[in-house]
Chain A
Amino acid sequence: MTFDKDRRQDLDQLWLDSLLQETLRPERERDQQRIQSLFSKPDFELNDAHSAVVHKFSSFVRWLPLVIAASVLIAVSSWPQFSSPNQKAYAAVDRCLRATPAAREYSIRILLHNLSGDELTRTAQLYLDKNNRFAVRRQSWLASSDIWIGSDGMNQWFVPRVGPAFKGSERILGGWLMRKDSTSPYLHLNTALKRMKKDYELTMLPDAGLDGVEGEGTVVCERVHGESKGQSKLASDRTLPVEIELWADKENGIARRVVLLWNRESNQVGVTQWTIDLIGYPSLAENWFEPSGHIGVGQRIISIGKETDLEVLPKANEEG
């Protein structure tokens, strides 16, 4: 830059003017109209090439831990297949999964460190059913509306606050999510499950009581502790939890609580703990695990990629 100090100061003033306008007089409605108008244009259609970078238009990265949480709850169904000597622990988990009711609702309490070293708390709701479908609801940081992410068992989907919803194969959307955050290489759902099968050692802890839901009173739970094996990459990986604790109803095996702990120092940015608690057995709409169950009036659903992309899913996960 060769221009003089005065010119630079003038440009800084223009830059600041724009930031001040965004800060003190944000035009949310106009912004939304502009985005809606863009997405309604016929030449604004999505294809595979776009899916590689479409994440840049949104801030989905903050959603990724929710996918992990859902995957962890689903992942416990794989634990009985693990090759570990502690068969009682695997049996407890197995029983827990066999007892899965039609639908469950969990609250998620998320602890994380920010750049300033402060500990923050976020909350979300997670809905699961016995067919491994899930939906996570979180309030948008910016507005009172909700943002949804989920899986209908075949495809993953996002319903953002503004603009169209996206639905696509795990291969495509998972890859998209991973590219969004290069420091989180294990965000792909199936990759995460593979790592957990391979790298966690399960043991039983003493039984303990938890408050029940929907007037149940105190529920006695079996507790299973999963810890990443010392030599595994998980010990240094900050994406997946290093410890997992499952509280399963001793009487019927239903998962009541899952606690996840990440390997992070106090000065490291990111998630440190999740506490996922069962809060009920809701009756959900037919399309609850599909984006159509959560889109707003006039909000479109854009399909990313082709169904045939699912055929290469195993290959996409080989690195795990």
Chain B
Amino acid sequence: MLMAYIRTIQTDQVAADDVWQETMLVAWRRIDDYDTSRPFGPWLRGIAHKIVLANYSKTKGRMTITDSESLEYLSQRFESVQSLKGDTFDEKLEALRGCIALLSDHERQCVELRYSQNLMPAELSDRLGVALETIKKRLLRAKQRLVQCITSKMEAARSQEATL
């Protein structure tokens, strides 16, 4: 999940790999500072966040986010994924697969091609023979629905956990 977090703020793949590696090494060296009574994910993401900001001057052209508040918000969003059922990140993503299955056929096709084959909207437009604006609208609508769907699943999982 750490890598997914880093990818949201560092679009360059090689730079993202570097941040991940540096984060793990710093965490390893500073393991004594970690409070074992607290969740591990936010601690790791906090280290990544500092590394990203420290390298800002070198990598700003490839960064999507630079302010601490936004980074903190994203970290919380990733932490909330922990509430979904499953032991691993991949198992937790099963909830998102369920949300994708609920999209309309047009929207699902756009989302799957966009992310599984890394096609840009213009390429999707060519591939599907649909106007670019239509593709953009479909993607936007689909992503809004997916955010709503996964958020409601996380909230349901949290309230179920609270009642156990």
Contacts and interface: CB of A to CB of B under 8 A. Distances in A.
Nearest to A3: B69
Interface string B78-107: 100100010111110100110010000000
A146 to B, nearest CB: 16
A53 B93 contact: no
B78 A59 contact: no
Interface of A: 1-3, 7-8, 11-26, 30-31, 34, 37-38, 41, 43-44, 49-50, 52-53, 56, 59, 61-62, 114-116, 141-142, 179, 267-269
Could you say which of B9, B21, B115, B116 has the most chain A C-beta atoms within 10 Å of its C-beta? Answer: B115
Interface string B133-164: 00000000001001100100000010011001
B31 A49 contact: yes
A24 to B, nearest CB: 4
The bracket for how many chain B residues form the interface is 35 or more
A31 B24 CA distance: 13
26 contacts: A2-B69, A8-B73, A11-B74, A12-B147, A14-B8, A16-B143, A17-B8, A17-B115, A17-B143, A19-B96, A22-B93, A23-B97, A24-B115, A34-B20, A41-B25, A43-B29, A44-B24, A44-B25, A44-B28, A49-B32, A52-B31, A56-B40, A59-B87, A141-B90, A141-B91, A268-B164
Contacts of B12: none
Nearest to B111: A20
Contacts of A52: 31, 36
Interface in B52-94: 64-65, 69-70, 72-74, 77-78, 81, 85, 87-91, 93
A55 B88 CA distance: 13
A43 B115 contact: no
Contact of A21 (B7, B73, B143, B161): B7
Given A12-B77, A14-B65, A59-B88, A50 B31 contact: yes
Contacts of B25: 38, 41, 43-44
Contacts of B7: 18, 21
Contacts of A37: 21
A310 to B, nearest CB: 23
Contact of A53 (B4, B36, B70, B90): B36
A24 B93 CA distance: 10
Nearest to B85: A115
Given A20-B146, A25-B116, A269-B164, A15 B78 contact: yes
Contacts of B112: 24
Q: Give 8 nearest A-B pairs by CB, closest first.
A: A56-B40, A24-B115, A115-B85, A24-B116, A20-B115, A18-B4, A15-B77, A14-B8
Contacts of B29: 43
A85 B141 CA distance: 71
Contacts of A34: 3, 17, 20-21
Given A17-B115, A49-B32, 20 more contacts: A1-B72, A2-B69, A3-B69, A3-B73, A11-B74, A13-B147, A14-B65, A15-B74, A17-B143, A21-B7, A24-B111, A25-B117, A34-B21, A38-B25, A44-B28, A49-B31, A50-B28, A53-B31, A115-B157, A179-B36
